[in-house]
Chain A
Amino acid sequence: AQKVTQAQTEISVVEKEDVTLDCVYETRDTTYYLFWYKQPPSGELVFLIRRNSFDEQNEISGRYSWNFQKSTSSFNFTITASQVVDSAVYFCALSVINSGGGADGLTFGKGTHLIIQP
C-alpha cells in the first residue's frame, strides 16, 4: 500500500518570503510517480509537476522548485518570493504501476494550506 505524508497542515508567511512544503512518501514499488497539485479556494486541482522514480533531477519553474530525494523518500516543493496568489492548498500525490493493466487513482497526502499574507 502507498502512503503520502504532508506533516505541515498549515503554513502562514508574509509575502516575498520563501516557503518549503514537505512531502514524504511510502511505497514498496520501485517504479512510481510523484505529483504536486495546487487547489485554490475555487476548488479545481491544478497540476504543477510530475516526477518518476528514476528521475531525481531537481526542477525549477519560475519561482517554483522541487527537490526529489529517493534516499529520504521526499519530494519537497519550494516557492521563492511568495505572492498572495500562491495562497492555496497544495497536495502531494503518488501513483504506482497498476498490475491489472489499467489506469489507477492517485494517493494524496492530506494537503498543506499555504497562506501568504500581504
Chain B
Amino acid sequence: DTEVTQTPKHLVMGMTNKKSLKCEQHMGHRAMYWYKQKAKKPPELMFVYSYEKLSINESVPSRFSPECPNSSLLNLHLHALQPEDSALYLCASSQDLGGLPDTQYFGPGTRLTVL
C-alpha cells in the first residue's frame, strides 16, 4: 500500500487565522516532506523530516511551522499567512536510506486559499 493521506482537501483561511494541515502514512517510511506548489509551477521543497527530526528547512518563513509527532504523522501549522501563500501543499514520504535517494510517494495535497 503506497498511500499517503492528507487532510483537509481544501482550506480557506483569513490572514489572522491559525490552522493546521495533516499528513499520514503507514508504509513504515522514516522520511517525510512538505512541498508547496503554486499554479502551473513544479513543487518546491519546504521541509524534510528524518526519523522525526527536522533535517531540512528551505528558508521557509516562520509563519509555517512543521511538526512530526511520530513516524506516521506530519503536521504543518499555519499562522498569519499572506494571500501569496495560497497554493497546493503536498506531503510525501519515503524510506530514509541514510542519504541515498528513495522514491517519494505523495499525498493528494491540500489546496489552501488565504483571503
Q: Which residues of A contact B69 (CB under 8 A)?
A: none
* Interface residues on chain A, size class: 20 to 34
Of the residues B45, B107, B109, contact of A106 by C-beta under 8 Å: B45
Complex CA–CA separation, A46 to B104 (angstroms): 10
B38-68 to A contact mask, C-beta < 8 Å, 1/0: 0001110100101000011010000000000
Asked if A100 and B45 make an inter-chain contact with CB atoms under 8 angstroms apart, the answer reads no
A98: CB under 8 A from chain B?
Answer: yes
Find out whether the CB atom of B50 lies under 8 angstroms from the CB atom of A47: no
Task: Give the interface residue-count category, chain B.
Answer: 20 to 34
Give A49-108 interface residues, CB cut-off 8 Å to B.
50, 91, 95-106, 108
Contact residues of A: prevailing secondary structure: loop
Q: Which residues of the partner chain B approach A44 to less than 8 Å between Cβ atoms?
A: 106-109
Contact indicator B99/A100 (Cβ below 8 Å): yes
The 9 residue pairs across chains A and B that have the minimum distance between CB atoms? A105-B45, A103-B31, A108-B42, A95-B101, A102-B50, A45-B106, A98-B99, A102-B55, A44-B108
Which residue numbers of A lie inside 8 Å of B, CB to CB? 32-33, 35, 37, 42-47, 50, 91, 95-106, 108-111
